[in-house]
Amino acid sequence: MESALRTDSSSNNGVGDGGFLAACRERRLWLCSAAERLRCAVVGFAGKLGKIARDDPRRVAHSLKVGLALTLVSVLYYTPLFNGWGETTIWAVITVVMVMEFTVGATLSKGLCRVLGTLAAGLVGVGAHLVADLCGGKGEAILLAVFLFLAASAATFSRFIPEVKERYDYAMAIFILTFSLVTVSSYREDPGDLIELAHERITTILVGVAICLFTTLFVFPIWAGEDLHELAAGNLDSLAEFLEGMGSECFGENSSCENLEGKAFLQVYKSVLNSKAKEDSLITFAKWEPIHGKFRFRHPWNQYQKLGALCRQCTSSMDALASFVITLKKAQCPEANPVLCLKIRATCAAMSLHSAKALRGLSLTVRTMTGPSPINNDVSTATKAASDFRAELSEDVALLQVIHVAIVASLLSDIVIQIEGITESTNSLARLARFKNPAEIRSRSNVVINIEN
Amino acid sequence: MESALRTDSSSNNGVGDGGFLAACRERRLWLCSAAERLRCAVVGFAGKLGKIARDDPRRVAHSLKVGLALTLVSVLYYTPLFNGWGETTIWAVITVVMVMEFTVGATLSKGLCRVLGTLAAGLVGVGAHLVADLCGGKGEAILLAVFLFLAASAATFSRFIPEVKERYDYAMAIFILTFSLVTVSSYREDPGDLIELAHERITTILVGVAICLFTTLFVFPIWAGEDLHELAAGNLDSLAEFLEGMGSECFGENSSCENLEGKAFLQVYKSVLNSKAKEDSLITFAKWEPIHGKFRFRHPWNQYQKLGALCRQCTSSMDALASFVITLKKAQCPEANPVLCLKIRATCAAMSLHSAKALRGLSLTVRTMTGPSPINNDVSTATKAASDFRAELSEDVALLQVIHVAIVASLLSDIVIQIEGITESTNSLARLARFKNPAEIRSRSNVVINIEN
């Protein structure tokens, strides 16, 4: 508003000065507004970067560590001490760029894969060279090409074996790479030069891996195991938050139960549903990590996978409950059986609040790594409330029976509503992707029939 | 059995020949059994490989394609035509190994990232070299190291920006790699040599990328878009299979509804729940792919993400329904209100079978890419059954109200049961990881108190 007023007054001042000055001013204003837009974009981008850094300050540490490791490896090249290394130093640089990962476990596994892959391919490659050498001349080149084709195909296929893919995928890529380089180079080199080349390459890769491990282990180490542990505790907290929200907003004494749709607590469990991929990769990396902090030798990493699967299964029930509660509140039916309803409502409040407390206790157990306290009876209280509710219902057998089939029917009708959504989504895909339209084809043939008639 | 008999008879024959012959025979038997075990292991491994190949024969094609591309690139080195290339050919080999991916989209995106990253880093690197050159001597080395540290840190940090991570992660890795190589080499090379080096490197990388694109596009191409399309249709089929199973096994006329726990149809939706990671990566790659087959320019790839999200939400309700049905059948309550129960059961059968039919229709629509047929009224039939069920219930307001709160309570008590499982899992984690035990600490302090008393 203020800037608009200023613009107006400045153009009023310039009315008598003719078109030239006005044009100058206009251009200046345009430049100002362009500069303002640029400033806004830069500020916005800086804010975004700041948020990424604040969300997880270890990202900044990791970036600086990569810079540090590369500078360290380049020092090897600058110093006269390593002048003899010459061209092969680039392998140390490539190793650092490719092996440095966010967590210690990932860096360790990639470093080990790189060393293993290089060693295996070096041995096989020199063997292939010696065999091909027996043929000599053109035969050698053809035989080497055949070997390369076979080895690369076999190694690529082995990457589809689940066990290899999980642990040695990068080692296989490095095997193919090194084997190609050895066979390709071996055509022009002496066997003696070749072995020296292989030796230099392995040494530089070892130096690169050593620098990576030094930086990743001793400069602000980031452990996959700790991330995994934190993820497990965070998942338990998310589940607790949902139940706390349900307890206070739906079953509380003064809860209105209206406009639940936008509430944050009804969304909080969704992060748990999508945590599987992150969890799996963290478990793979955590297994490579040495003893550190609270994590001893043979820490039961697979147990986190089981816990995560149970948490995700729990979120499925929460999802069904959340969508049911939202639809229920929309229906707005009057209170018809207030005594029973109040009773069940109190049971629900007890179940959700005690379950939430139990989950908070479990999350604290995981976070502090202090064994489960035997005085925490929240789970048994919640279980008792659930079984009491069932026992009470089972007194009225007819009602229980009706409720059971009604629950099944109600869940099914929920599914039907979701399938309506799926149908709409598929139809809009068909429209956007311009699927062939059977109705059009039919109406066209109708037109033909009409004309013929 | 047969081999055991043979072993017995052969040792009976050898009783009189003394210890030596018996030992020989024993060793032979041991060798035989070792050979047998080895044979079994080899056969088992071959069977596993065969299964991997049969599950998706394109895996074999991809492996052979990698072999082909590498052989093609090595031919560049063998032929006298490219003798002038010398050492730089290794860049073409590295490019082929790193860029060749399973699908066309992935190969294209990695190839483009590699070219972009190399070009950008080459330009920035030569600029940094020119600036550092002004200082000369030791100053140059220090300035280059500082530049390297800053550029590597900044580029690594940029990989945490979600948009960069999704599309240009590999380009950033290549930027860091090339920039390091240029700065490290530039200390010892002339500027003229450096530019020639950069030129050679870019040319060889272009040749490598060209060979990859040729192989991936023209030799048995594997499209991420087709995989994504197939995944969407397969998800719809999985949902349909679950509902068909429910319709026939739970609500059918002669269905016994017993021992549902191990049934396959109750597990089939679980693959849909875990399809998110695969779907996301396929969408990213599909966006890079050129027009092919049934997929035109600007195919609505994001629509698949929406459809997938809806399918996964539907599986949450299915999960709740499945676990409820399994618990329900275990409870074995008698039929108390047979008229209403039969009615609801018939409604459930109608809902599940019509929904399943609708889903099969949608999956056919996606598979054949033929627009939705307007005569397919299964969705509306299912929706009508669902709303009829609701209308019928709403006539008896008291019953409806009780059912609503009972459903909420029942879902909550399901959650409570799942939390019991989570508690057990956390406790076994605590036991296996030997968390500190508060009870022990307390009992120890009790002992101290007792002694003091």
Chain A residue with Cα closest to B396: A336
> Are A208 and A283 in a shared domain?
no
Q: Is A326 on the interface with B (CB under 8 A)?
A: no
pLDDT value of position A3: 43
pTM assigned to the model: 0.82
In this structure, is residue B451 part of a structural domain? no
pLDDT value of position B96: 92
Contact check, Cβ <8 Å, B359/A415: no
In this predicted structure, the answer to whether residue A415 has a pLDDT above a threshold of 90 is no
> Are B291 and B421 in a shared domain?
yes
- Secondary structure element (H or E) that encloses residue A428, with its range: helix A397-432
**Taking CB atoms and an 8 Å cut-off, how many pairs form between chains A and B?**
482
> Are A356 and A234 in a shared domain?
yes
Nearest CA distance, A167 vs chain B (angstrom):
17
DSSP annotation of A295: B
Please check whether residue A308 is in contact with residue A276, taking contact to mean a CB–CB distance below 8 angstroms. Answer: yes
Which residue in B60, B156, B422 is closest to A63 by CB distance? B156
What is the CATH classification number for the domain harbouring B279? Answer: 1.20.58
pLDDT value of position B329: 58
Q: Which residues of A333-347 are buried (b: 16+ CB within 10 A; e: fewer)?
A: eeeebeebbeebbeb
Which is it for the CA torsion A130, B205, B215, A117, positive or negative?
positive
In this structure, is residue A249 part of a structural domain? yes
CA distance B69 to B78: 14
Distance of CA B351 to the CA centre of its chain: 33
What value of ipTM does the predicted structure carry?
0.82
Position B207, amino acid: V
pLDDT value of position B15: 46
Q: What is the per-residue pLDDT across B201-218, written as a single tens digit (0 to 9) for each?
A: 888 889 899 999 999 999
> Are B229 and B195 in a shared domain?
no
Half-sphere exposure of A312 (CA within 13 A, CB side): 20
Task: For tokens 């008229």, name the residue.
Answer: B339
- Secondary structure element (H or E) that encloses residue A66, with its range: helix A58-78
**Which is higher by pLDDT, A340 or A63?**
A63
In this structure, is residue B239 part of a structural domain? yes
Chain B residue with Cα closest to A398: B336
At which of B193, B218, B243 does a domain end? B218
Say what percent of chain A tops pLDDT 70: 84
> Are B289 and B435 in a shared domain?
yes
H helices within A250-335, ranges in order?
A: 270-273, 276-286, 301-331
> Are B375 and B424 in a shared domain?
yes
CA distance B293 to B368: 12
As a whole number of Å, the CA-based R_g of chain B is 34
Q: What is the per-residue pLDDT across A104-141, written as a single tens digit (0 to 9) for each?
A: 999 999 999 999 999 999 889 888 888 888 887 778 88
Give A-chain residues touching B416 at CB under 8 angstroms: 351, 355, 382-383, 385-386
pLDDT value of position B81: 62
In this predicted structure, the answer to whether residue A437 has a pLDDT above a threshold of 80 is no
- Number of domains chain A contains: 2
Q: What is the per-residue pLDDT across A214-223, written as a single tens digit (0 to 9) for each?
A: 999 999 999 9
Q: Give B159-208 as a DSSP string.
A: TTSHHHHHHHHHHHHHHHHHHHHHHHHHTTS-HHHHHHHHHHHHHHHHHH
> Are A391 and A319 in a shared domain?
yes
At which of B167, B189, B218 does a domain end? B218
Q: Which residues of B6-17 are buried (b: 16+ CB within 10 A; e: fewer)?
A: eeeeeeeeeeee
> Are A209 and A279 in a shared domain?
no
Q: Which residues of chain B have pLDDT under 50?
A: 1-15, 332-333, 375, 447-449, 451-453
Task: For tokens 């006539």, name the residue.
Answer: B395
Chain B residue with Cα closest to A75: B145
Give A-chain residues touching B48 at CB under 8 angstroms: 161
Contact check, Cβ <8 Å, A412/B63: no
Contact check, Cβ <8 Å, A310/B352: no
**Count of CB atoms within 10 A of residue A71's CB?**
22
In chain B, the N- to C-terminal Cα span, in Å, equals 71
In chain A, the N- to C-terminal Cα span, in Å, equals 70
Task: For tokens 């009829």, name the residue.
Answer: B388
Mutation site for A-interface testing, chosen from B58, B344, B415, B437 by largest number of A Cβ within 10 Å: B415
* 3-state DSSP assignment of residue B257: coil
pLDDT value of position A80: 65
In this structure, is residue B39 part of a structural domain? no
Mutation site for B-interface testing, chosen from A329, A410, A414, A442 by largest number of B Cβ within 10 Å: A410
**Count of CB atoms within 10 A of residue B80's CB?**
6
Give Cβ neighbours of residue B120 (< 8 Å, ≥ 6 apart).
Answer: B171, B175
**Which is higher by pLDDT, B44 or A391?**
B44
Please check whether residue B88 is in contact with residue A90, taking contact to mean a CB–CB distance below 8 angstroms. Answer: no
* 3-state DSSP assignment of residue B370: strand
Give A-chain residues touching B344 at CB under 8 angstroms: 402, 405-406, 408-409
Q: Which residues of A156-187 are buried (b: 16+ CB within 10 A; e: fewer)?
A: bbbbbeeeeeeebbbbbbbbbbbbbbbbbbbe
Chain A residue with Cα closest to B184: A74
> Are B143 and B274 in a shared domain?
no
In this structure, is residue B44 part of a structural domain? no
> Are B328 and B358 in a shared domain?
yes
Question: Rounded to 5 degrees, what angle do the CA atoms A190, A196, A198 make?
Answer: 100
pLDDT value of position B188: 64
In this structure, is residue A30 part of a structural domain? no
Closest CA to A144 of A122, A123, A126, A129: A129
Lookup: tokens for B441: 């600490």
> Are B191 and B149 in a shared domain?
yes
**Count of CB atoms within 10 A of residue A438's CB?**
17
pLDDT value of position B238: 93
In this structure, is residue A374 part of a structural domain? yes
Boundaries of domain holding A373: 224-440
Please check whether residue B208 is in contact with residue B93, taking contact to mean a CB–CB distance below 8 angstroms. Answer: yes
Give A-chain residues touching B185 at CB under 8 angstroms: 90
**Which is higher by pLDDT, B420 or A6?**
B420
Q: What is the per-residue pLDDT across A66-107, written as a single tens digit (0 to 9) for each?
A: 999 999 888 877 666 666 666 677 888 889 999 999 999 999
Nearest CA distance, A136 vs chain B (angstrom):
14
Please check whether residue A170 is in contact with residue A114, taking contact to mean a CB–CB distance below 8 angstroms. Answer: yes
**Count of CB atoms within 10 A of residue A30's CB?**
10
Half-sphere exposure of A43 (CA within 13 A, CB side): 6
At which of A202, A218, A234 does a domain end? A218
Q: Give A144-183 as a DSSP string.
A: HHHHHHHHHHHHHHHTTSHHHHHHHHHHHHHHHHHHHHHH
Position B323, amino acid: S
User: What part of B 116-175 touches A (C-beta under 8 Å)?
Assistant: 141, 144-145, 148-154, 156-157, 160-161, 173
Task: For tokens 């618990």, name the residue.
Answer: B327
Mutation site for B-interface testing, chosen from A83, A301, A420, A423 by largest number of B Cβ within 10 Å: A423
> Are A251 and A206 in a shared domain?
no
Closest CA to B69 of A241, A153, A135, A284: A153
pLDDT value of position A27: 83
pLDDT value of position A333: 46
Lookup: tokens for A270: 């969704």
Chain B residue with Cα closest to A323: B317
In this structure, is residue A44 part of a structural domain? no
* 3-state DSSP assignment of residue B74: helix
Contact check, Cβ <8 Å, A369/B410: no
